[in-house]
């Protein structure tokens, strides 16, 4: 084939294997929409196309009913009341609304925000934006080597001027689960609200806003087998959390988020939440088994593979591994028929590896060797086995090619070398 | 990122992987880059008594473009004189492999690696007694 470039899927699946290439192992980036979700959405594009805000005819009523059922389904997933669910365009908007909205509303009384350095960029960026706006003080807490928040440090950072503590539930890069209940208690001791970015957690791990003391929570549909372009912000009613809207207009969503609701997306989001709630235990049992299978098989065949983030406090569908002495992007190029993400940032002009891994104290050279494996609802055992085989083969090949591997085998301490920075 | 055909070929079938004895007087070794930056190249050349690069080997820790760039230069330097090899420019490497702009630094590193290997060889040739005597014999013969 005389094509100029070579994209994914360079070869056929090996004979006798029940798999299709390429294999998707990037469930933190996004998930496929569950076919049951798509089916639930379809009528809302064609026959039930009404505007849910049209109060005067059945088209509007029908659409409104679809939205309200979905709202209840999403509320049920996290133990909320349906009046506490505000629809947005996704978790990025939800995080922006929670941080800027709460920050600006309470600014006169409380102008401090406490967050963590390993948060998603949209949380960090929203915080920085408030700092630039002026009048806010933001504390960015470091994390422990296992990626978890140090509760003592958090306790010291929260003051009676803190309006909001924002800590994500499950980290997108390394999958660690933060101690939400304990964090909420610390925030509440000082009268601050607790917001959690649950984009990677909702539908994956059990969440209960009441039991955990969560005041605001961001959720994304497309990370839980729903459609892209829709998300939600849970906003507690008792005691009431108030916020300043970011988007003004028709006053939909109780004035917190104007704009006509994307009914088909919301209906799909609701269906996805319902499936996640009823099948979570079953899904998680499978995902844990597949995750252990991948981890154990790789470790059996390769040495110097390190798991980034806490071993126990994690969502098992996220395995972030450093393959020492093998650069992540070259490994990704070798395993082109397996879709994964790399903590290496060789593609970016900055040459900076992942800020999340660096925050864990992972050495820069190790951060360059990391690959994130995302396992989800559609992953099969045959896919995991194929992935392991491919990875082991390429890591071995690339180590044979690696001057660092050679030096370490010769007993040279890499730290003793005077490297030329460039 | 979509990669060019030549780049993929060098990545998948790298030429001249390996190592030579770095203590040998006819071998020049260049080690450039840093693990923290995500790429390290080791390039070695074996130089004949009349100053021709007879063999070249490399090992690279780095992305596909870094591997391909170093593989390509080992091919290019073979059979060249030191001066000819030294004149290889990173732009030629980048152009040949159709490196995307964010990968230009890989070709710069490959150019640095050759220069470092040649400098190492020259340093040895200038100080090592055997090479000196070889040069002396040559002068005497003239």
Predicted TM-score (pTM) of this structure: 0.90
By DSSP bridging, strand A305-307 and strand A231-235 are: unpaired
A401 CB neighbours in chain B (<8 A) are 14, 17, 59-60, 67
pLDDT value of position A367: 86
pLDDT value of position A15: 66
* Residue B131 pLDDT exceeds 70: no
pLDDT value of position A350: 52
Rounded to an integer, the average pLDDT of B64-68 is 95
B45 part of contact set with chain A, CB < 8 Å: no
Comparing CA positions, the residue from B57, B48, B56 lying closest to residue B131 is B48
Helices B90-97, B5-12: crossing angle, 10 deg rounding: 100
Whether residue B31 and residue A403 make contact (CB cut-off 8 A), yes or no, is yes
B18 part of contact set with chain A, CB < 8 Å: no
Nearest-angstrom CA–CA distance, A350 and B117: 27
Question: For residues A139, A143, A147 and A149, what is the CA-based torsion angle, rounded to 10 degrees?
Answer: -70
B1 part of contact set with chain A, CB < 8 Å: yes
Whether residue B39 and residue A4 make contact (CB cut-off 8 A), yes or no, is no
Q: List strands edge to edge, sheet with A162-166.
A: A85-88, A231-235, A216-220, A193-197, A162-166, A112-116, A137-141
Q: List strands edge to edge, sheet with B39-47.
A: B27-34, B39-47, B53-61
* A7: nearest CA partner in chain B: B2
A400 part of contact set with chain B, CB < 8 Å: yes
* Residue B56 pLDDT exceeds 90: yes
B19 CB neighbours in chain A (<8 A) are 406
- The model's confidence at residue B102, banded by pLDDT at 50, 70 and 90, is confident
Rounded to an integer, the average pLDDT of B21-26 is 95
Whether residue B39 and residue A405 make contact (CB cut-off 8 A), yes or no, is no
Nearest-angstrom CA–CA distance, B97 and A150: 48
Nearest-angstrom CA–CA distance, B55 and B74: 8
Q: Which two tokens stand for residue A329?
A: 């992007």
- Convert A303-329 to b/e letters by CB count within 10 Å (16 or more is b): ebbebbbbeeebbbbbbbbbbbbbbbb
B41 CB neighbours in chain A (<8 A) are 403
Asked if A222 and A200 touch (Cβ cutoff 8 Å), the reply is no
Does residue A346 have an active-site annotation?
A: yes
- The model's confidence at residue B65, banded by pLDDT at 50, 70 and 90, is very high
User: Three-state SS for A238?
Assistant: coil
| Nearest-CA distance A390 → chain B (Å) | 14
The residue written with tokens 């021709």 in the block is B52
Could you say which residues of chain A have pLDDT below 70?
1-16, 343-352, 421-422
* B63: nearest CA partner in chain A: A330
Asked if B25 and B124 touch (Cβ cutoff 8 Å), the reply is yes
Does residue B63 have an active-site annotation?
A: no
pLDDT value of position A297: 98
pLDDT value of position A301: 98
Q: What are phi and psi of A133, to 5 degrees?
A: -60, -35
Q: Is A276 exposed, middle or buried (0-12, 13-18, 19+ CB in 10 A)?
A: buried
| Nearest-CA distance A62 → chain B (Å) | 45
pLDDT value of position B3: 80
Q: Which of residues 297-326 of A touch B (CB under 8 A)?
A: 325-326
B40 part of contact set with chain A, CB < 8 Å: yes
| Residue of higher predicted confidence among B3 and A208 | A208
pLDDT value of position A344: 62
């Amino acid at each position: 084939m005389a094509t100029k470039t070579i994209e994914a899927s360079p070869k056929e699946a090996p004979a006798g294997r029940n798999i299709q290439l390429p294999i998707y192992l990037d469930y933190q980036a996004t998930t496929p929409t569950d076919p049951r979700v798509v089916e639930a959405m379809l009528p809302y594009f064609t026959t039930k196309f009404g505007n849910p805000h049209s109060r005067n005819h059945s088209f509007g009523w029908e659409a409104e009913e679809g939205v309200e059922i979905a709202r209840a389904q999403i509320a049920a997933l996290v133990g909320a009341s349906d009046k506490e669910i505000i629809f947005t365009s996704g978790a990025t908007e939800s995080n922006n609304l929670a941080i800027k909205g709460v920050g600006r509303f309470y600014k006169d009384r409380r102008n401090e925000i406490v967050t963590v350095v390993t948060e998603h960029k949209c949380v960090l960026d929203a915080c920085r934006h408030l700092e630039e706006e002026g009048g806010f003080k933001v504390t960015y807490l470091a994390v422990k080597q296992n990626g978890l928040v140090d509760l003592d440090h958090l306790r010291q950072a929260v003051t009676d001027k803190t309006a909001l503590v924002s800590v994500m539930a499950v980290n997108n890069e390394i999958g660690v689960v933060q101690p939400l209940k304990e964090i909420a208690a610390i925030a509440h001791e000082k009268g601050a609200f607790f917001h959690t970015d649950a984009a990677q957690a909702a539908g994956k791990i059990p969440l209960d806003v009441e039991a955990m003391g969560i005041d605001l929570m961001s959720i994304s549909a497309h990370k839980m087998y729903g459609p892209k372009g829709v998300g939600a912000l849970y906003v507690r009613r008792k005691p009431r959390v108030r916020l300043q809207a970011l988007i003004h207009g028709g006053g939909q969503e109780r004035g917190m988020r104007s704009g006509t609701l994307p009914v088909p997306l919301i209906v799909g989001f609701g269906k996805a939440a319902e499936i996640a709630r009823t099948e979570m235990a079953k899904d998680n049992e499978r995902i844990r088994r597949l995750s252990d299978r991948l981890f154990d098989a790789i470790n059996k065949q390769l040495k110097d593979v390190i798991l980034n983030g806490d071993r126990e406090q994690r969502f098992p569908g996220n395995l972030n591994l450093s393959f020492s002495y093998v650069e992540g992007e070259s490994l990704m190029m070798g395993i082109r028929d397996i879709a994964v993400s790399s903590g290496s940032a060789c593609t970016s002009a900055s040459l900076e590896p992942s800020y999340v891994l660096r925050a864990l104290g992972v050495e820069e050279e190790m951060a360059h060797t990391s690959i994130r494996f995302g396992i989800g609802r559609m992953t099969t055992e045959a896919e995991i086995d194929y992935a392991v085989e491919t990875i082991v083969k390429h890591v071995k090949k690339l180590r044979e090619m690696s001057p660092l591997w050679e030096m370490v085998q010769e007993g040279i301490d890499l730290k003793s070398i005077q490297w030329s920075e460039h | 990122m979509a990669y060019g055909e030549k780049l993929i070929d060098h990545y998948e079938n790298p030429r001249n992987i390996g190592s030579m004895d770095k203590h040998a007087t006819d071998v020049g070794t260049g080690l450039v880059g840093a693990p923290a930056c995500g790429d390290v190249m080791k390039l070695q050349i074996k130089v004949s008594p009349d100053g021709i690069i007879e063999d070249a080997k490399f090992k690279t820790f780095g992305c596909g473009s870094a591997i391909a760039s170093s593989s390509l230069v080992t091919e290019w330097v073979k059979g060249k004189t030191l001066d000819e090899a030294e004149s290889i420019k990173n732009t030629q490497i980048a152009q040949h492999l159709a490196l995307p702009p964010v990968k230009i630094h890989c070709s710069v590193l490959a150019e640095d690696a050759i220069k470092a290997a040649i400098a190492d060889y020259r340093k040895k040739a200038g100080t090592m007694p055997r090479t000196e005597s070889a040069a002396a014999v040559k002068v005497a013969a003239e």
